[in-house]
Chains A and B, each alone.
Chain A
Amino acid sequence: MNIIIPIKQVPETSNVKMDPETGTMIRDGVESIINPLDLYAIEVGIQLKEEHGGKVTVITMGPPSASKALKEAIAMGCDDGILITDRKFAGADTWSTAYVLAEAIKEIGEYDLVLAGERATDGDTGQVGPNIAAYLDLTLGTYISKVEEVNKEKIVVERLLEEGYEKLELPLPSLLTVVKEISYPRLPTLRGKQRARKTELPSLTVKDMNVDESKLGLKGSPTRVVKIETPKVTRGGTIVSAKDDDQLEAAVDKLVEFLKSKEIV
């Protein structure tokens, strides 16, 4: 079973500082990591390979430094990594990114399954996975929480919904976006790291792919960031306090008045 996993490098956001003037993140000195939700897709991919054989290929679109993310995925147990990189890709939105990733997957050739994280922790859109499925005309399963059964023709999965689970049977190849519940990502091992260091990462650029250049990068992206604003906190909160027992009754009355005015009681 051959599996392709598109992953994304995202800034590590636990210590992020914002530029108060532009409202954007200060990226200087911020470490880049594999999008945490992609780790679950990687884990499932490796598990399926271990059980059914085949090969797992991770791909990412980004600057040459994104090869670090590919190496980390290989250290976890993926077989190959391909870096999709070209200055012309810079500034791409989800639509343009998915287009390039889909074209790259076409170049890779034979595959049974594409696995993606549910969404990235920076953009938070959850669009790229489904978008790739659309470009490649693949059957799509989103929010997948469990792989129950897989054979040459089909895969049976569970899909996490607000009201419960949905059981789906999809033909192969198809694309699945997975949620955290699906697995526990493994840690890279020393042997894995050593293998990753020796693994050559081929790269795909614009001239290696059959892409329409008008659909690339910032110019080819229909999304426009018009303005970034920090939302104002408008909820103030009301505190009714009683310093001692004598004031208690009056305070309770005040609270009841307030709740009535809000039509809560």
Chain B
Amino acid sequence: MNYNPLTEEIVKELESILGSKNVILDKEKMENYSHDETPEEYAHMPDVVITPTTAEQIAEVMKLANKHLIPVTPRGAGSGLSGGAIPTFGGILLSIEKMNKVLEIDYDNMMIVVEPGLVTNEINGLVEDKGLFFAGYPMSLLTCYIGGNIAENAGGGKAIKYGVTGQYVMGLEIVTPTGEIVELGGKNVKDVTGYDIKKLMIGSEGTLGVITKAIIKLSPKPKFATDLLVLFKDVESAIKIVPTIISEGGIVPTSIEFMDKLSVHTTCDYLNEHLPYQKAGSMLLIEVDGTNESVVELDAETIGELCLENGAIEVYVADNFTTQERVWSVRRNIAEAFMVYSPEQSLEDIVVPIGNIAKLMPEIEKISKKYDIKMPSYGHAGDGNLHTTLVKNPDTTMEEWFDIENKALKELYDAVYKLGGKLSGEHGIGLKRMKFMKDHLSETELMLMKKIKQAFDPNYIMNPGKIIE
């Protein structure tokens, strides 16, 4: 695809649409918008950064960009892990950071109407006093924007019970790639009026339009939570217990987080955590929540007993702030702990049917041995979504690493697909996984995706170089 360079005339037009303070050309400032949380090698500088404040401004910018064939990359907080917000072809970087207002809190319908640049956790802060919360949030909720969550259909540690972002998006206002403003969905709980374009926008990674407003469903916030930190001697016994908890125990936990031996040992070591983890071959962190304290306690006990009957070495119970912080910090610090070992990593989020996680683990070990890299696996066992991470051996050169990363990823994805899995559960395809995705899609599915893209974005200027070519 050939795009036109950004000219002074176009910059002037942008300034007249947005006001000059919302048009950034300073190299140092633009650098911040050239990358997300993926490694440096994916970064690319934009030609201009704009910070619009209204949907109307964005519509005008899109019309201008179509006229001159300039690529436009929408961006949230930049906490993505797929390169989705990186302006791969330069052009206009559209940051939604200034569109961060709360437009309405509708307690009667338990919904909140927000602009896309609102930090996700602020929603929870605003409605907490009324006993409500936004249940679809990802692990990065303290920094990420709700608009980015919707564009990526982000999910997190509580998906097994509460699902992911998309389930809580009732309505959207978007600006199409050709510059029309359109409202999708609304406050109706049921709606089958025509094709569900709103759902198509969710997870479209900014390739089908810019989200400018969202109606988000709120849920009653559970008052009590108990966490179980369970040590197992091996991976198999930990993974096998997951379906048992739900089927035999009759309980849907809020989270079931899995950590393999390498993750547990590295992180406990890093945190100076003195749990008797040395004997553990894997660990599960299971949370149950609810509105009745004794029911939560009983659920936790039922799960704990099931674990002990099925090969758990020890079950620890955390039901207050001190102990809960302690057990969750083990899970939260895994990535950071491996950063100390080697900062070059490829953080994946493969997903397989939960029954197949145990079968995947030996495959991961094979790849890890073959390429002499560490491959810790941890993540959301409850929904089969694993953050298998490729960690560069500090002894190899960068060039060798890129080659290893490429080959190892291909083998990992092949193994995942053989087990009925997919290559991304929550981080998205973006730039990073585009070349791998097409190996695993049927021609028809790929063709349908391309036609959808074409219908929205005939000039291919909206976040080009992401998901599909």
| Cα(A75)–Cα(B228), bound, Å | 14
Cβ 8 A contact of A187, one of B275, B304, B305 = B275
Enumerate B194-217 residues with CB–CB distance to A below 8 Å: none
Smallest distance from the beta carbon of A76 to chain B beta carbons, Å?
Answer: 10
Main secondary structure of the interface of A (DSSP, over half): mixed
- The reply to whether A190 and B308 contact each other, CB–CB distance below 8 Å, is yes
- The reply to whether B315 and A31 contact each other, CB–CB distance below 8 Å, is no
Smallest distance from the beta carbon of B195 to chain A beta carbons, Å?
Answer: 44
| Cα(A31)–Cα(B320), bound, Å | 8
A49 at interface by CB-CB < 8 Å = no
Which residues on the A side are within 8 Å of B228 (C-beta)?
190
Stretch at the interface among B40-48, B86-94, B322-330: B322-330
| Cα(A186)–Cα(B231), bound, Å | 14
Cβ 8 A contact of B314, one of A12, A189, A193 = A189
Smallest distance from the beta carbon of B312 to chain A beta carbons, Å?
Answer: 9
Smallest distance from the beta carbon of B92 to chain A beta carbons, Å?
Answer: 28
Smallest distance from the beta carbon of A35 to chain B beta carbons, Å?
Answer: 10
Which residues on the A side are within 8 Å of B318 (C-beta)?
187-188
Which residues on the A side are within 8 Å of B304 (C-beta)?
190
Please indicate which of the listed interface residues B228, B274, B317 has the most CB atoms of chain A within 10 Å of its own CB. B317
- The reply to whether B317 and A12 contact each other, CB–CB distance below 8 Å, is no
- The reply to whether B322 and A194 contact each other, CB–CB distance below 8 Å, is no
Known contacts A75-B317, A184-B274; A190/B301 CB under 8 A: yes
Cβ 8 A contact of A34, one of B315, B316, B322, B326 = B322
Which residues on the A side are within 8 Å of B317 (C-beta)?
75, 187-190, 192-193
| Cα(A190)–Cα(B308), bound, Å | 10
Cβ proximity bits A170-209 to B, threshold 8 Å, 1 near / 0 not: 0000000000000010111111111000000000000000
- The reply to whether A33 and B322 contact each other, CB–CB distance below 8 Å, is yes
| Cα(A12)–Cα(B320), bound, Å | 9
Which residues on the B side are within 8 Å of A31 (C-beta)?
320-321
Smallest distance from the beta carbon of A15 to chain B beta carbons, Å?
Answer: 9
Smallest distance from the beta carbon of B113 to chain A beta carbons, Å?
Answer: 26
- The reply to whether A189 and B320 contact each other, CB–CB distance below 8 Å, is no
B229 at interface by CB-CB < 8 Å = yes
A39 at interface by CB-CB < 8 Å = yes
| Cα(A187)–Cα(B276), bound, Å | 10
- The reply to whether A72 and B320 contact each other, CB–CB distance below 8 Å, is yes
Which residues on the B side are within 8 Å of A14 (C-beta)?
321
A62 at interface by CB-CB < 8 Å = no
- The reply to whether B321 and A187 contact each other, CB–CB distance below 8 Å, is no
Cβ proximity bits A18-33 to B, threshold 8 Å, 1 near / 0 not: 0000000000000101
Interface CB pairs A-B, < 8 A, 26: A12-B320, A12-B321, A12-B322, A31-B320, A31-B321, A33-B321, A34-B322, A39-B322, A72-B320, A75-B317, A184-B274, A187-B316, A187-B318, A187-B323, A187-B326, A188-B317, A188-B318, A188-B323, A189-B315, A189-B316, A190-B301, A190-B304, A190-B308, A190-B316, A191-B315, A192-B317
A contacts, CB < 8 Å to B: 12, 14, 31, 33-34, 36, 39, 72, 75, 184, 186-194
